[in-house]
Protein backbone atom coordinates (compact mmCIF):
# COMPACT_ATOMS: atom_id res chain seq x y z
CA UNK A 1 0.00 0.00 0.00
CA UNK A 2 1.54 3.32 -1.06
CA UNK A 3 1.56 6.43 1.11
CA UNK A 4 -1.60 8.54 1.14
CA UNK A 5 -1.87 12.34 1.25
CA UNK A 6 -2.95 12.78 4.90
CA UNK A 7 -0.79 13.11 8.02
CA UNK A 8 -2.68 12.50 11.26
CA UNK A 9 -1.79 12.51 14.95
CA UNK A 10 -2.36 9.73 17.49
CA UNK A 11 -4.07 10.04 20.84
CA UNK A 12 -1.52 9.02 23.45
CA UNK A 13 1.72 7.22 24.25
CA UNK A 14 0.82 3.97 22.52
CA UNK A 15 -1.43 3.12 19.61
CA UNK A 16 -5.10 2.48 20.32
CA UNK A 17 -7.35 0.35 18.16
CA UNK A 18 -8.85 3.54 16.69
CA UNK A 19 -5.36 4.87 15.92
CA UNK A 20 -4.46 1.67 14.09
CA UNK A 21 -7.73 1.70 12.15
CA UNK A 22 -7.04 5.24 10.96
CA UNK A 23 -3.39 4.62 10.14
CA UNK A 24 -4.27 1.59 8.03
CA UNK A 25 -6.55 3.70 5.83
CA UNK A 26 -5.05 4.11 2.34
CA UNK A 27 -5.47 7.91 2.47
CA UNK A 28 -3.00 8.15 5.38
CA UNK A 29 0.69 8.65 4.69
CA UNK A 30 2.14 9.95 7.91
CA UNK A 31 1.87 10.66 11.63
CA UNK A 32 2.78 13.87 13.46
CA UNK A 33 3.74 13.50 17.11
CA UNK A 34 3.17 15.93 19.98
CA UNK A 35 4.40 16.34 23.56
CA UNK A 36 1.46 14.25 24.79
CA UNK A 37 2.88 11.28 22.84
CA UNK A 38 6.10 11.27 24.89
CA UNK A 39 6.93 10.11 28.39
CA UNK A 40 10.36 8.50 27.98
CA UNK A 41 12.94 7.54 25.39
CA UNK A 42 12.01 3.85 25.60
CA UNK A 43 8.31 4.62 25.23
CA UNK A 44 8.92 6.85 22.18
CA UNK A 45 11.02 4.18 20.45
CA UNK A 46 8.26 1.65 21.07
CA UNK A 47 5.62 4.03 19.73
CA UNK A 48 7.48 4.87 16.52
CA UNK A 49 8.29 1.18 15.96
CA UNK A 50 4.59 0.32 16.29
CA UNK A 51 3.64 3.10 13.85
CA UNK A 52 6.21 1.93 11.31
CA UNK A 53 4.93 -1.66 11.71
CA UNK A 54 1.36 -0.73 10.76
CA UNK A 55 2.08 -0.46 7.03
CA UNK A 56 4.58 -1.18 4.29
CA UNK A 57 6.13 1.03 3.10
CA UNK A 58 6.16 2.52 6.60
CA UNK A 59 4.28 5.71 7.34
CA UNK A 60 6.30 8.89 7.70
CA UNK A 61 6.72 10.17 11.25
CA UNK A 62 7.22 13.92 11.73
CA UNK A 63 7.32 16.31 14.67
CA UNK A 64 7.61 20.04 15.34
CA UNK A 65 10.98 19.95 17.08
CA UNK A 66 12.67 23.25 16.23
CA UNK A 67 14.23 24.17 19.56
CA UNK A 68 13.28 26.88 22.02
CA UNK A 69 9.58 26.93 22.86
CA UNK A 70 8.75 24.58 19.97
CA UNK A 71 10.41 21.35 21.08
CA UNK A 72 8.00 18.49 21.70
CA UNK A 73 10.36 16.08 23.50
CA UNK A 74 12.35 17.49 26.39
CA UNK A 75 13.25 15.10 29.24
CA UNK A 76 16.03 12.89 27.93
CA UNK A 77 16.59 15.09 24.87
CA UNK A 78 19.06 17.93 24.42
CA UNK A 79 17.47 21.36 24.81
CA UNK A 80 17.96 23.12 21.50
CA UNK A 81 18.12 26.94 21.82
CA UNK A 82 15.68 29.20 19.95
CA UNK A 83 16.99 29.93 16.47
CA UNK A 84 17.25 33.63 17.28
CA UNK A 85 20.18 32.84 19.56
CA UNK A 86 22.22 31.68 16.57
CA UNK A 87 21.24 34.91 14.82
CA UNK A 88 22.61 36.95 17.71
CA UNK A 89 25.92 35.15 17.46
CA UNK A 90 25.95 35.63 13.68
CA UNK A 91 25.94 39.41 14.19
CA UNK A 92 29.41 39.22 15.72
CA UNK A 93 30.80 35.87 14.56
CA UNK A 94 29.08 34.54 11.40
CA UNK A 95 31.40 31.54 10.97
CA UNK A 96 30.95 30.50 14.59
CA UNK A 97 27.18 30.87 14.31
CA UNK A 98 27.15 28.63 11.24
CA UNK A 99 29.20 26.00 13.04
CA UNK A 100 26.85 26.06 16.03
CA UNK A 101 23.72 25.92 13.86
CA UNK A 102 25.10 22.88 12.03
CA UNK A 103 25.91 21.22 15.35
CA UNK A 104 22.38 21.93 16.58
CA UNK A 105 20.92 20.39 13.44
CA UNK A 106 23.06 17.29 13.87
CA UNK A 107 22.03 16.87 17.52
CA UNK A 108 18.38 17.48 16.77
CA UNK A 109 18.30 14.97 13.91
CA UNK A 110 20.48 12.27 15.46
CA UNK A 111 18.46 12.21 18.68
CA UNK A 112 15.14 12.04 16.84
CA UNK A 113 16.43 9.40 14.41
CA UNK A 114 17.62 7.31 17.38
CA UNK A 115 13.96 7.20 18.40
CA UNK A 116 12.52 6.35 14.98
CA UNK A 117 11.29 9.82 13.98
CA UNK A 118 11.79 10.48 10.25
CA UNK A 119 11.94 14.29 10.19
CA UNK A 120 11.23 17.53 12.02
CA UNK A 121 9.34 20.48 10.55
CA UNK A 122 12.34 22.79 10.65
CA UNK A 123 13.97 25.25 9.87
CA UNK A 124 11.84 28.38 10.18
CA UNK A 125 12.78 30.63 7.24
CA UNK A 126 10.55 33.55 8.25
CA UNK A 127 12.10 36.98 8.72
CA UNK A 128 12.05 38.41 12.22
CA UNK A 129 10.28 41.77 11.91
CA UNK A 130 9.80 41.93 15.68
CA UNK A 131 6.00 41.95 15.35
CA UNK A 132 4.78 38.38 14.89
CA UNK A 133 3.14 36.83 17.94
CA UNK A 134 3.67 33.26 16.77
CA UNK A 135 7.11 33.46 15.10
CA UNK A 136 9.18 35.64 17.46
CA UNK A 137 12.42 33.97 18.50
CA UNK A 138 11.71 30.99 16.27
CA UNK A 139 13.16 33.08 13.43
CA UNK A 140 16.93 33.25 12.94
CA UNK A 141 17.19 36.93 12.07
CA UNK A 142 15.77 39.96 10.25
CA UNK A 143 18.54 39.77 7.63
CA UNK A 144 17.91 37.42 4.70
CA UNK A 145 21.59 36.56 4.32
CA UNK A 146 21.83 35.54 7.97
CA UNK A 147 18.66 33.45 7.69
CA UNK A 148 19.99 31.64 4.65
CA UNK A 149 23.46 30.98 6.05
CA UNK A 150 22.14 29.68 9.37
CA UNK A 151 19.29 27.66 7.86
CA UNK A 152 21.67 26.08 5.36
CA UNK A 153 24.05 25.16 8.19
CA UNK A 154 21.18 23.68 10.19
CA UNK A 155 20.06 21.70 7.10
CA UNK A 156 23.59 20.31 6.72
CA UNK A 157 23.48 19.20 10.34
CA UNK A 158 20.07 17.60 9.88
CA UNK A 159 21.39 15.73 6.84
CA UNK A 160 24.40 14.52 8.83
CA UNK A 161 21.94 13.15 11.39
CA UNK A 162 19.91 11.33 8.73
CA UNK A 163 17.03 13.76 8.41
CA UNK A 164 15.44 15.91 5.68
CA UNK A 165 14.71 19.60 6.31
CA UNK A 166 11.31 21.30 5.95
CA UNK A 167 11.44 25.07 5.41
CA UNK A 168 8.51 27.10 6.71
CA UNK A 169 6.28 29.17 6.48
CA UNK A 170 6.30 30.00 2.74
CA UNK A 171 6.29 32.76 1.50
CA UNK A 172 6.95 34.28 4.96
CA UNK A 173 4.91 34.55 8.18
CA UNK A 174 7.09 37.05 10.03
CA UNK A 175 5.50 40.31 8.87
CA UNK A 176 1.95 39.71 10.16
CA UNK A 177 1.10 40.15 13.84
CA UNK A 178 -1.78 37.68 14.13
CA UNK A 179 -1.26 34.04 15.09
CA UNK A 180 -2.72 31.80 12.38
CA UNK A 181 -3.56 29.17 15.00
CA UNK A 182 -6.28 31.44 16.38
CA UNK A 183 -6.90 34.11 13.70
CA UNK A 184 -6.70 34.77 9.98
CA UNK A 185 -3.57 36.88 9.34
CA UNK A 186 -3.63 39.13 6.28
CA UNK A 187 -0.45 40.53 4.76
CA UNK A 188 -1.31 43.54 2.55
CA UNK A 189 2.13 43.99 0.99
CA UNK A 190 2.67 43.79 -2.75
CA UNK A 191 4.20 40.71 -4.33
CA UNK A 192 7.33 42.69 -5.20
CA UNK A 193 7.89 43.71 -1.56
CA UNK A 194 7.47 40.11 -0.40
CA UNK A 195 9.68 38.81 -3.21
CA UNK A 196 12.56 41.17 -2.50
CA UNK A 197 12.60 40.29 1.20
CA UNK A 198 10.70 37.31 2.68
CA UNK A 199 11.00 35.08 -0.39
CA UNK A 200 14.79 35.33 -0.49
CA UNK A 201 15.62 32.71 2.18
CA UNK A 202 13.20 30.29 0.50
CA UNK A 203 14.69 30.95 -2.94
CA UNK A 204 18.23 30.37 -1.70
CA UNK A 205 17.33 27.25 0.25
CA UNK A 206 15.53 25.86 -2.82
CA UNK A 207 18.71 26.47 -4.81
CA UNK A 208 20.54 24.56 -2.06
CA UNK A 209 18.19 21.58 -2.47
CA UNK A 210 15.89 21.79 0.56
CA UNK A 211 13.68 18.67 0.37
CA UNK A 212 10.38 20.06 1.69
CA UNK A 213 8.47 23.27 2.39
CA UNK A 214 5.40 24.17 4.45
CA UNK A 215 3.27 27.14 3.34
CA UNK A 216 1.77 29.68 5.73
CA UNK A 217 -1.90 29.96 6.66
CA UNK A 218 -1.68 33.66 5.76
CA UNK A 219 -3.60 35.59 3.09
CA UNK A 220 -1.35 37.80 0.95
CA UNK A 221 -4.20 39.96 -0.27
CA UNK A 222 -2.35 41.66 -3.14
CA UNK A 223 -1.56 38.25 -4.65
CA UNK A 224 -4.54 35.99 -3.86
CA UNK A 225 -7.62 35.97 -1.63
CA UNK A 226 -6.75 32.45 -0.40
CA UNK A 227 -4.16 31.57 2.25
CA UNK A 228 -0.88 30.50 0.66
CA UNK A 229 -1.41 26.85 1.51
CA UNK A 230 -4.63 26.83 -0.52
CA UNK A 231 -3.37 29.04 -3.33
CA UNK A 232 -2.41 27.65 -6.72
CA UNK A 233 -0.78 31.01 -7.47
CA UNK A 234 1.61 30.66 -4.57
CA UNK A 235 2.25 26.93 -4.72
CA UNK A 236 2.25 26.33 -8.47
CA UNK A 237 3.12 29.61 -10.15
CA UNK A 238 5.55 31.00 -7.57
CA UNK A 239 6.95 28.03 -5.63
CA UNK A 240 7.03 25.38 -8.36
CA UNK A 241 7.44 27.44 -11.55
CA UNK A 242 9.15 30.68 -10.57
CA UNK A 243 11.39 29.29 -7.82
CA UNK A 244 11.83 25.84 -9.36
CA UNK A 245 11.00 23.87 -6.20
CA UNK A 246 10.48 20.15 -6.77
CA UNK A 247 10.42 18.88 -3.21
CA UNK A 248 7.49 17.91 -0.99
CA UNK A 249 4.91 20.48 0.10
CA UNK A 250 3.24 19.86 3.48
CA UNK A 251 0.20 21.91 4.44
CA UNK A 252 0.08 23.47 7.87
CA UNK A 253 -2.55 22.03 10.23
CA UNK A 254 -6.02 22.11 8.63
CA UNK A 255 -7.66 22.59 12.04
CA UNK A 256 -5.96 25.96 12.62
CA UNK A 257 -8.31 28.95 12.69
CA UNK A 258 -6.70 30.44 9.58
CA UNK A 259 -7.62 27.29 7.63
CA UNK A 260 -11.30 27.46 8.58
CA UNK A 261 -12.08 29.88 5.75
CA UNK A 262 -11.59 26.93 3.42
CA UNK A 263 -14.89 25.32 4.44
CA UNK A 264 -15.41 21.90 6.03
CA UNK A 265 -12.41 19.67 6.60
CA UNK A 266 -12.83 17.69 3.39
CA UNK A 267 -13.17 20.86 1.31
CA UNK A 268 -10.05 22.28 2.99
CA UNK A 269 -8.01 19.16 2.31
CA UNK A 270 -9.21 18.95 -1.28
CA UNK A 271 -8.37 22.62 -1.84
CA UNK A 272 -4.87 22.29 -0.38
CA UNK A 273 -4.11 19.18 -2.44
CA UNK A 274 -5.47 20.72 -5.63
CA UNK A 275 -3.43 23.87 -5.00
CA UNK A 276 -0.27 21.78 -4.90
CA UNK A 277 0.29 20.26 -1.46
CA UNK A 278 1.62 16.70 -1.49
CA UNK A 279 0.46 15.97 2.06
CA UNK A 280 -2.02 17.72 4.36
CA UNK A 281 -1.86 17.77 8.15
CA UNK A 282 -4.89 17.27 10.38
CA UNK A 283 -4.18 17.45 14.11
CA UNK A 284 -5.98 17.12 17.44
CA UNK A 285 -9.43 16.32 16.04
CA UNK A 286 -10.03 12.55 15.75
CA UNK A 287 -13.65 13.23 14.80
CA UNK A 288 -12.58 15.33 11.83
CA UNK A 289 -9.97 12.73 10.91
CA UNK A 290 -12.72 10.12 10.62
CA UNK A 291 -14.83 12.52 8.56
CA UNK A 292 -11.94 13.28 6.22
CA UNK A 293 -11.01 9.62 5.74
CA UNK A 294 -14.62 8.78 4.94
CA UNK A 295 -15.18 11.59 2.44
CA UNK A 296 -11.94 12.61 0.72
CA UNK A 297 -11.38 11.33 -2.79
CA UNK A 298 -7.82 11.78 -4.00
CA UNK A 299 -5.50 9.83 -6.25
CA UNK A 300 -1.86 10.36 -5.29
CA UNK A 301 0.21 11.59 -8.23
CA UNK A 302 3.40 9.65 -8.89
CA UNK A 303 5.42 12.83 -8.32
CA UNK A 304 3.95 13.26 -4.84
CA UNK A 305 4.81 9.67 -3.94
CA UNK A 306 8.39 10.19 -5.09
CA UNK A 307 8.74 13.46 -3.15
CA UNK A 308 7.35 11.94 0.04
CA UNK A 309 9.52 8.85 -0.27
CA UNK A 310 12.55 11.10 0.09
CA UNK A 311 11.31 12.21 3.51
CA UNK A 312 11.96 8.82 5.13
CA UNK A 313 14.79 9.06 7.63
CA UNK A 314 18.21 7.77 6.63
CA UNK A 315 20.85 6.10 8.82
CA UNK A 316 20.37 6.41 12.56
CA UNK A 317 22.24 5.52 15.76
CA UNK A 318 21.08 2.52 17.71
CA UNK A 319 20.54 4.49 20.90
CA UNK A 320 21.20 7.70 22.80
CA UNK A 321 23.92 5.82 24.69
CA UNK A 322 25.70 5.13 21.42
CA UNK A 323 25.46 8.80 20.46
CA UNK A 324 26.95 9.90 23.75
CA UNK A 325 29.93 7.60 23.23
CA UNK A 326 30.85 9.61 20.11
CA UNK A 327 33.44 12.21 21.16
CA UNK A 328 32.54 14.66 18.37
CA UNK A 329 28.87 14.42 19.29
CA UNK A 330 29.65 15.06 22.95
CA UNK A 331 31.66 18.12 21.90
CA UNK A 332 28.71 19.36 19.83
CA UNK A 333 26.44 18.88 22.85
CA UNK A 334 28.74 21.01 24.96
CA UNK A 335 28.97 23.77 22.35
CA UNK A 336 25.24 23.99 21.70
CA UNK A 337 24.51 23.77 25.41
CA UNK A 338 26.39 27.02 25.93
CA UNK A 339 24.38 28.91 23.31
CA UNK A 340 21.15 29.26 25.23
CA UNK A 341 22.95 30.28 28.42
CA UNK A 342 25.35 32.90 27.18
CA UNK A 343 24.43 33.74 23.59
CA UNK A 344 26.46 36.65 22.34
CA UNK A 345 29.16 36.25 24.98
CA UNK A 346 30.60 32.89 23.97
CA UNK A 347 34.38 32.51 24.16
CA UNK A 348 34.93 32.61 20.42
The residues annotated as belonging to the active site are 181, 252
Annotated ligand binding at 64? The verdict is yes
CA distance 225 to 186: 9
Annotated ligand binding at 22? The verdict is no
Annotated ligand binding at 168? The verdict is yes
Annotated ligand binding at 65? The verdict is no
SS (H, E, C) the chain: CCCCCEEECCCCCCCCHHHHHHHCCCCEEEEEECHHHCCCHHHHHHHHHHHHHHCCCCCEEEECEEECCEECCCCCCCCCCCHHHHHHHHHHCHHHHHHHHHHHHHHHHHHHHCCCCCEECCCECCCCCCCCCCCHHHCCCCCHHHHHHHHHHHHHHHHHCCCCCEEEEECCCCCCCCCCCCCCCEECCCHHHHHHCCHHHHHHHHHCCCCEEEECCCEECCCCCCEHHHCHHHHHHHHHHHCCCCCEEEEEECCCHHHHHHCCHHHHHHHHHHHCCCEEEECCCHHHHHHHHHHCCCCCCHHHHHHHHCCCCCCCCCCHHHHCCCHHHHHHHHHHHHHHHHCCCCCC
Annotated ligand binding at 310? The verdict is no
Residue set of the binding site: 64, 72, 138, 168-169
Residue set of the binding site for substrate: 64, 72, 138, 168-169
Amino acid sequence: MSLGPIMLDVVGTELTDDDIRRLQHPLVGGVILFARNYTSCAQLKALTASIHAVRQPPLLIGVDHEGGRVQRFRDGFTRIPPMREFGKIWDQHPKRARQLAEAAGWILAAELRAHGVDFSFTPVLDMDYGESLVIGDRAFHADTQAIHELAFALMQGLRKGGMAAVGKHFPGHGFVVADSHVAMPVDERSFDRIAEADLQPFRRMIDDGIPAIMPAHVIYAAVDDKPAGFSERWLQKVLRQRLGFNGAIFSDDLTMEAASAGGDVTTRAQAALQAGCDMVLLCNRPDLADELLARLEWRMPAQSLARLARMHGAHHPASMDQLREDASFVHALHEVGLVGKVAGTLPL
